[in-house]
Structure 1
Amino acid sequence: MTNFRVHQTLHFLSLVLCLCLTQFSAPNLAHSEDQGNEGKVIKALTVKNNIAISAETILAKVKTKAGDTYSQVALNEDLKRLYATEYFTDVSIDAERFEDGLKVTFVVEEKSVIGEIAFKGNKALTAQKLKETMKSKPDEMLNMSLLAQDIAEIKSLYIKKGYPGVDIKYELDLNKELNKTKIAIIINERKKISVAKVTITGNEHLKTPKIIKVLGTKTAWLFNPGVFKEDVLEEDVDKIKSLYDDIGYLDVEVTPKLDYSPDGTKLYVAFEVKEGKGYLVGDVNIRGSAILPEKEIRSKIRMKKGRHFSRRELREDMLAIRDLYYLYGYMDAVVDIDQNVNPADGNMDIIYTIDPKEVVYVGKVIIRGNVKTREIIVRRELRIYPGDKFNGNKIKRSKERLYNLGLFEDISFDTEPTQAPQVHNLIVNVKETKTGEFSFGGGYSSVDQFLGFVEVGQRNFDILNFPTFTGGGQNLVVRTEIGMVRQNYNISWVDPWIFGWPYLFGFDLYRTSHTRRTDIGWAYDETRTGGDLRLGKELTEHLRADAVYRLEQIKIGSIPNYASADFRSEEGSNTISSALLQLTQDTRDNIYNPGKGYILSGSIEDAGGVFMGDKDFIKGTATASFYHTFFERFVMELKGRAGWSSSYGSSDTVPIYERFYAGGANTIRGYKERKVGPRDTGSDEPIGGEALLLGNAEVVFPIYEKILKGAVFYDVGNVWAKADDFLVGGGYKSGMGVGIRVNTPVGPFKLDYGYPLVKNNNDESRNGEFYFSISRGF
């Protein structure tokens, strides 16, 4: 028995030893063989077992070439390159003697090629739509990782369509002879589910509509399909907690509950709220080396003692204090916050600890991201320069000016340290927007009727930069409009810094014509042909002056025979030669979409006289617009316009085409176009007046995201026949109403309804008016 065990043990040890020798000898032999090939010349490179991919394509991926010396290291790198193509499931290398050298063969096992992609069970989405979603395509290599991504994308698409329970699988059918795989994607759509109702319970200190407004889970209606998503539900819980956090309920608990209709197609979502304790702000203390007066620091803190505690407002107060220090150049200032519940009264005590560090100065100003735009275009708008103390207001104003150029879609400022601790470089990051435009289309308005246009424009034009003609910040527009009542042709060019000097220079060449249409207030045909030259200069940060010389030939026709003699005397052609001076004060935060600030403008124009021409008159205008945002997204505009004109010299009256008109979409809504003010005694058509005064108040507010906006407005004003009646003439007309603004795929749509509050003396009835238009700007 003992001998048997000894023999058995010896047999086992012999077997293990053999296996070990086999394990270690094979690599060593291979290594020895590889070492034997090192340094030999490679006479030929071949590929073996490739079917779909040509040998030329495979060999183009490797760096080893015929004529190179054999290197195992280099061939290992080639193996990695071939695997990285994701064409193969396996690659190996054989080397054999060939013509006094070596022949190296890459032995490959190709991945299958995708043949047909088929779908089963899809009803809500077409096969074509699903194929467009996939990155895997027929006749391309089958990539399992990519296929998994495709399945995830298809599932995401179904969830967006209201099928959260969709189940998607796939089957692969390999044809080994052709090395092609058919993909069958099997879809179990299950039932489409929409959110029928969202309710909130347990909320005592927040109104239900305020909570519902912030939720991503929405009830199904006309503009929302009511798709349910679990991840959005989780986000909604956090949003509700955040709302309560803002009013001091830091311990709030929110539990969502789901209930389905009997047929499983309707979902009822309920959020149960347990508010818990509400915390108030206790003592607020400021510590550290504040440097700035404590009173000034406290003016930036909104969370006063006794108010509801809010983590969001706490962060905002901290940022406001830091911005205050930035304003004085303390760019490295640190503001720490400690908050603790006072056990005596249960309130939240707050301590701001401030370390201002040292004043930081601007080193270099570095511009990044301007691919087409010349660097000087950016630099000339900056209001902070090397050597200045960092100043938050100057940086903010620089950002506003850069946005107002209309050349960039995103602008940000950053800093980077230098070798000097008190000097930081200022980094200006810009992302250019598309500034060139070729557009054509049409629209309709209650004023211009149907209108078609073709326009070529470039806001970043450079007349000297051949051949691209871009990057100079100049504005070039060539536009043609042809419609039922007017035809316009216009070429406009403006350089805000002519030849690198801070003076605006530009010109317009145009021909405009308007057909007589009494229903929209045009009692005659009018054609204007001419142009103008413009010169402007910024006098201060917000004040600018402009001068314009205008030369026009104006032709008036189609005045009815029954019109008065004075009206008929306007018929014919005349030349207007005039010069205009204008001052403009503009503090708006954004000239394209203002939310705050104001713009004041006044101009005086002298026609004839020393400038010659056929008509002598003086015209003055003044406008003022104030913008204010409230309730975060409600924008109010208050606008006033005044005009005064008078003839002199050889002219007895101001020409009819240079007078003021009111009534309609852009002046006093509720009245017909141009029908407010003087009318001809013979034809009862509007003939304009020498003086005008208008006031407009409008509030625009969001209804549905960025698509639909609402508006309420009030307009008032009048036009007087003689300038002497300005302000004292009375007879004011006013209207009020509502409107909508819709951003549609074909262009922005605007609809207003105005109702006249005062009867127009020349009209028998007092009826409201609709004004609508489809155009390109919003």
Structure 2
Amino acid sequence: MILHFISYIISAMRRILAVFFLTAFVLSAFGMASFAQSQNTEVSPSADSPTGEAAGQPAEAPVPPQAQEDVKLITAIEVKGNKAISANTVVSKMKSRIGSPYQETVASEDLKRLYLLGFFSDIKIDTEPHNDGIKIVVSVTERPLIEKISFSGIIHITMKDEKLKAQLKSKEAQYLDYPNLDEDARTLKKMYEKIGFAHAQIDYKVDVDKERNKAKVEFRVQENKRVRVKDIFIDGNSNFTDSRLLRLMKTKRAWLFNAGALKEDVLREDIDRLKAFYRKNGYSDSAIDYEVKPGAKRPFLLSIYIKVREGKKYLVGNVTVQGNRDIEQKDILARLKECTPGKVFSNESLKADVANIQGLYFDRGYISAQVQEATSLNSYTGRVDVLYTIEENKVAFVDKIYIRGNIKTKDTIIRRELRIYPGDKFDGDKLRRSKERLQNLGFFEEVNYDTEDTQVEERKNLVVEVKESKTGTFSFGGGYSTVDDFVGFVEIEQNNFDWRNFPYFTGGGQNLKFRAQFGTITGGFDMSFTEPWLFDYPVSFGFDAYNRKHKRDTDVGYGYDENITGGDVRLGKELSEFLRADLVYRFDYFNIKNITDNATEDLKQEVGKKAISSITPSFTFDTRDNVFDAKKGDLLTGSVEWAGGPWGADKDYWKFFGRASHYIPLLRNSSLEFRGRLGLSKPYSDTERVPIYERFFAGGAYTIRGYGERKVGPIDAVSKDPLGGESMLVGNIEYTYPVFSFLKVAVFYDAGNVWQKMRKVGSGGFKSGAGIGVRIKSPIGPIMLDFGIPFNKAPGEEKKKGGRFHFSASQGF
């Protein structure tokens, strides 16, 4: 009984103690919250107070009691002088906060931070006592806003004011900045220098409305007279003539066809160009200075004085190679082209040969090879001896191949063109050939290589980086051609077509093209499809369907109306890297009518409807570096068409056509092409003559320029219409020089003839001509414009005619 009573007393005391401690904890928490609230109310003035003091944030950490006696707390922050910029904006950019200790270093940082805003021309930070602490007073002077920018005195700069303002750093509705105004004045000065007004004076005037705090800026120009270069004098040049050096300069004397404007930056480039010229020619110690002097009586006429100190001409002495182990010294020396014994020494030629040695090692798989060059003057010979030190490192092998940059084109389309594979040694020839093949696809603007390290030192990942170009086109237009007269067309083409990729239909490497043509003498349509890899095998398949019409027009060599409807099926395969075989089956339906009334019986026999069925095997050997713009390499093609016989239809004949082109790269990206074409044909069985629409013709834009279209060869004795022949031989030599990326100039010589019978080929001489032309890369396609001068009288003409223009679309650019 007593034990039960004691247990009850202990349980009751536990409950009482628990209630007591819980009550004490609640009261303690409530008291601390009240104390904190009262403290915050005392140090934080309202942001909306009439004094303009801005509210701050409480200090992140309390100040230790022992430091409060030496450090004052910030009790307020006041901003003065601000009009457009609010006080809260200013305070938000400062590190000082209400409730935190005041520190001079922090205030100094705040001053710098506020200046960086660019809103103020003057800022001061002061302090004063406030509520047992410190109040920070920020006094600012706002920069005025630019209300208007105007110009006066400008005559020879024809740019409108709005475009002129766009060239300046200072802008309307932005804050006035005097350093920017100074730079703007210099910008205008440079614009005047570019048009020859080197003595133009530019300053500015700023009117500030202090009440509105806005400014008007006026740039004032005094153009003065246009400065011209009267003379350029060169002194000290004993090894090169004045005219040779002046040709290197873009700055020219003033004369009838040159304004003679002086541009300081261009003149400095001219001097650098002269220095580089001397260094390239072995004068490594040469020095060139210049001075521009105004005329004594006419200061706007300038004279440029160039002082040359040529120094000694250095030649290459002994060339030594060390460090090579796997590549013989004779192979390395054979790669040196510029810096060889006896040649002129220059740093440029030295660097070129370093690159040549590295290229040799890269081609053999040593992609990490290093070549260091060292030179020394041989006091005995007076020449510069060259030492190449080679660190070969290890041969590198391809680990993995990554394709990057292709968004539309599938990886497999790129990989199947590569001639280097995982596990292969890095080979320069294979890499170059792979790049050529990718460029020949026409899908990419750029093709580049990179490597990535792997965990194995001698194995590297090969990265093929491509930049895709636009491969799909929809174009329409019209024009005039000496071949087709006035013509219009509509064309849709996708060079990177994929019929399985719905709905984009791109990325598969196929070619699809549809073209409709209409004009005064021509018309029709063409549809073509090519799959270069049939069922993922390296066999191409394609077909064409077409209808082509040509009206009678003796000016372009057609003495009859021609209508062709037909199509073909194509198969092809690469037999080796450069050799390809193709097989084409063709079926055409011809309709010849509207023969000239006074034509002979020879031409009238061609009237009527005929069908042709033929099969054509061909071989192509192509080593050109670029099929679209060849600079080097060869193109050899040969085909034999077999019509009729077992293939049926109305005409039986065979026809051979061959072409050979050789391209030679020359200076400044120009090239020289030698091209020859041979055509031979012969009827057989019951066909007495090769049909006129399958004969060979020459003369005009694509064969022998300077003569009328199809006007070289046999003609009708009465109507003078071309009849064509069973054999043809044409040769062309053409030199092209690029002026711009879209424009080339050409010089050509053409010769050849057409013979009525195959056995007569080469007899009776040739017709020839020469001339000049341009090649234009236009948005609607390549354009060829030539002016040819004939050297012989054309068949059927009483005397030799003058030159003629040939204007048409070319077959490549």
- Match for residue 283 of structure 1? 318
Q: Which residue number in structure 2 is paired with residue 252 of structure 1?
A: 286
Are 1:453 and 2:485 an aligned pair?
no
CA contact (8 A) 1:672 1:769 kept: no
Q: Which runs of 5+ in 2 are unaligned?
A: 1-42, 45-52, 63-80, 94-98, 101-109, 124-139
- Tell me the distance in 2 between the aligned counterparts of 1:38 and 1:610: 103
Q: Residues 621 and 636 of structure 2 are in contact (CA less than 8 Å); yes or no, is this contact kept in structure 1?
A: yes
| Contact kept? 2:557, 2:721, Cα under 8 Å | yes
- 3-state DSSP of counterpart to 1:561: coil
Q: Confirm or deny that 1:383 pairs with 2:406.
A: no
Deviation at 1:746, TM superposition (A): 9.3
From the superposition, tell whether residues 495 and 86 of structure 1 become closer, same or farther in structure 2 (CA, over 3 Å). farther
Choose 200-209 or 429-438, whichever is displaced more: 200-209
Aligned pairs for 1:587-602 (under 5 A) are: 587-602=623-638
The 5 A counterparts of 1:362-761 are 362-702=398-738, 704=739, 709-727=744-762, 729-741=763-775, 750-761=784-795
The answer to whether the 8 Å contact 2:378/2:385 transfers is yes
CA distance in 2, matches of 1:435, 1:174: 58
Distance 2:320 2:658 in 1: 50
Aligned with 2:382 (options 346, 352, 368)? 346
**Does residue 228 of the first structure (1) align with residue 262 of the second (2)?**
yes
Q: What whole-Å deviation, never above 9, does each CA across 1:253-296 have from its counterpart, x for those lacking one? A: 22234355665666554544322111111111111233211111
Partner residue of 2:239?
A: 205
Task: Give per-residue Cα distances to partners, 1:74-98, cap 9 Å, x unaligned.
Answer: xxxxx9xx9999897699xxxxxxx
1:514–1:180 CA distance, 2 compared to 1 (3 A): farther
Where does residue 764 of structure 1 map in the other structure? 798
Q: What is the alpha-carbon distance in structure 1 between the residues aligned to residue 657 and residue 537 of structure 2?
A: 29
Q: Secondary structure at the match of 2:335?
A: coil
Instruction: Write the distance in 1 (CA, Å) between the matches of 2:671 and 2:234.
Output: 30
TM-score (norm: length of structure 1): 0.80
Contact 1:443–1:773 (CA under 8 A) maintained in structure 2: no
| C-alpha separation in 1, matches of 2:764 and 2:312 | 61
2:130 counterpart residue number? none
1:287-298 to 2 correspondences below 5 Å: 287-298=322-333
What is the CA RMSD across the aligned residues, in angstroms?
4.2
Which residue identity lines up with residue 537 of structure 2 in the other structure? W
Structure 1 Cα separation of the partners of residues 616 and 114 of structure 2:
74
CA drift of 1:449 comes to 3.0
- Find the counterpart in structure 1 of residue 65 from structure 2: none
Amino acid across the alignment from 1:428:
V
Mean Cα displacement is larger for which, 334-343 or 669-678?
669-678
Q: What displacement does 1:639 show? A: 0.2
User: 1:127 — aligned with what?
Assistant: 160
| Alpha-carbon spacing, 1:708–1:152, altered in 2? closer, same or farther (3 Å) | farther
Q: Residue type matched to 1:679 in 2?
A: I
CA-CA distance at 1:409 after TM superposition: 1.9
SS at match of 2:412: helix
Match of 1:35 in 2: 58
Structure 1 residues without counterparts, runs of 5 or longer:
1-25, 40-48, 63-69, 72-78, 92-107
Whole-angstrom CA distance in 1 between matches of 2:620 and 2:303 = 57
Q: Is the 8 A contact 1:133 1:150 kept in 2?
A: no
The residue aligned with 2:150 is 118
Q: Measure, in 2, the Cα distance between the counterparts of 1:718 and 1:743.
A: 30
- DSSP-derived class of the 1:254 partner: strand
Task: Work out the CA distance in 2 between the residues paired with 1:37 and 1:298.
Answer: 74
1:217 is aligned with what amino acid?
T
Per the TM alignment, residue 417 of structure 1 is displaced from its structure 2 partner at its CA by 1.8
Tell me the distance in 2 between the aligned counterparts of 1:278 and 1:242: 14
Deviation, structure 1 residue 199: 6.0
- Whichever residue aligns with residue 159 of structure 2, its letter is T
Which residue identity lines up with residue 233 of structure 1 in the other structure? L
Q: Is the 8 A contact 2:514 2:528 kept in 1?
A: yes
User: Which whole-Å deviations, capped at 9, do the CAs of 1:539-595 have from their partners, x for residues lacking one?
Assistant: 211111222232332222221121112211212332333222221111111112111
CA contact (8 A) 1:620 1:644 kept: yes
- Number of residue pairs the alignment of both structures matches: 710
Kindly provide the amino acid, as one letter, of the partner of residue 329 in structure 2. Answer: E
Q: 1:370 to 1:190 in 2, by over 3 A?
A: farther
Question: Deviation of residue 204 (structure 1)?
Answer: 3.9
Deviation at 1:619, TM superposition (A): 1.4
Q: Rate the CA distance shift 1:454–1:250 in 2: closer, same or farther, 3 A.
A: same
Moved more, 673-682 or 489-498: 489-498
Matched, 1:317 2:353: yes
Distance 1:343 1:698, change over 3 A: same
CA gap 1:207/1:707 in 2 versus in 1, 3 angstroms = farther
Given that 2:707 and 2:804 are in contact with CA atoms closer than 8 Å, whether structure 1 keeps it comes out as: no
Distance 2:462 2:276 in 1: 35
Structure 1 contact 708–743 (Cα < 8 Å) conserved = yes
- Aligned partners of 2:516, 2:141: CA distance in 1, in Å? 63
Deviation at 1:220, TM superposition (A): 6.9
1:217 CA displacement: 3.2
Amino acid at match of 2:286: V
State the Cα distance separating 1:366 from its structure 2 match: 1.9
> For 2:424, what is the secondary structure of its paired residue?
coil
1:298 positional shift? 0.9
Change (3 A) 1:662 1:474: same
Distance 1:209 1:126 in 2: 37
- Does the CA-based 8 Å contact 1:371-1:432 persist in structure 2? yes
Please tell me whether the aligned partners of residues 202 and 275 of structure 1 are also in contact (alpha carbons under 8 angstroms).
yes
- 1:207-264 residue CA offsets vs partner (Å, 9 max, x unmatched): 5565445434356789987653322322222222222222211111222343556656
| Aligned 1:167-246 pairs, distance under 5 A | 167-170=201-204, 182-193=216-227, 200-206=234-240, 211-218=245-252, 227-246=261-280
Cα distance change on mapping 1:248 and 1:657 into 2, 3 Å: same
Task: Using the TM superposition, give the Cα deviation of residue 53 of structure 1 relative to its aligned residue in structure 2, in angstroms.
Answer: 12
Name the residue aligned to 2:103: none
CA distance in 1, matches of 2:535, 2:181: 58
- Paired residue secondary structure (1:35): coil
Shift of 1:732: 1.8
Distance of aligned partners of 1:604 and 1:774 in 2 relative to their CA distance in 1, 3 Å threshold = closer
CA–CA distance in 2 between the matches of 1:747 and 1:132? 39
Q: Is the radius of gyration larger for structure 1 or structure 2?
A: 2
Q: 1:404 to 1:746 in 2, by over 3 A?
A: closer
Give the 3 Å change call, closer, same or farther, for CA 747–33 of structure 1 in structure 2.
Answer: closer
Structure 1 residues 422-431 or 325-334, which shifts more? 422-431
Q: Give the C-alpha shift of residue 680 in structure 1.
A: 1.5
- Show the 5 A alignment for 1:262-273: 269=304, 271-273=306-308
User: Displacement of 1:691 after TM fit?
Assistant: 0.6
Q: Is the 8 A contact 1:474 1:493 kept in 2?
A: yes
- From the superposition, tell whether residues 354 and 31 of structure 1 become closer, same or farther in structure 2 (CA, over 3 Å): farther
Q: Taking structure 1 as reference, are residues 301 and 182 closer, same or farther at Cα in structure 2, changes over 3 Å only?
A: same
TM-score (norm 2): 0.77
